[in-house]
């Protein structure tokens, strides 16, 4: 299993949800976030060294998927969420070693 932490523009949330549901994942955690990537602001290099980090509103979607579904989901995110402009977001991928449904104690990928 892989955990995808998907940081996106707020207006892209519906598109992302459609991608996940189409790939048969309804389980997701969505959080309003503030973030900063490479561009602190549009200032020149000398200004950048003294500038404060400029946080912008983002949406953070956390979802855990099967290994075999990850590439298709990443491809669709790139195809449908890239505007070509800076600030489109980032996906962090990490390994998940186990999952448990608290109600039943079930473990592993059947919980997804």
Per CB under 5 A, residues contacting Mg ion are: 37-39, 86-87
Q: What are 37's two structure tokens?
A: 């990537």
How far apart (Å, rounded) are the C-alpha atoms in residues 27 and 48? 40
Minimum CB distance to Mg ion, residue 54 (Å): 10
Q: Which stretch binds ligand ATP (CB under 6 A): 21-29, 37-45, 67-75, 100-108?
A: 37-45
Minimum CB distance to Mg ion, residue 66 (Å): 30
Indicate the residue whose CB is closest to Mg ion.
37
How far apart (Å, rounded) are the C-alpha atoms in residues 19 and 26? 10
Does 38 interact with ligand ATP (rule: CB under 6 A)? Answer: yes
> Which 3 state secondary structure label does DSSP give 38?
coil
Q: How many CA atoms lie within 13 A of 83 on its CB side?
A: 10
Does 3 interact with ligand ATP (rule: CB under 6 A)? Answer: no
């Amino acid at each position: 299993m892989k955990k995808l932490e998907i940081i996106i523009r707020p207006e892209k949330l519906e598109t992302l949800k459609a991608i996940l549901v189409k790939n048969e994942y309804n389980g997701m955690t969505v959080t309003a976030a503030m973030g900063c990537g490479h561009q602190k602001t549009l200032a020149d290099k000398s200004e950048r060294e003294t500038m404060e980090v400029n946080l912008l509103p983002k949406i953070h979607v956390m979802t855990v998927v099967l290994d075999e579904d990850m590439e298709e989901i990443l491809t669709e995110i790139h195809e449908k969420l890239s505007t070509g402009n800076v600030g489109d977001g980032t996906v962090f991928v990490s390994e998940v070693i186990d999952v448990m449904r608290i109600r039943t104690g079930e473990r592993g990928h059947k919980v997804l």
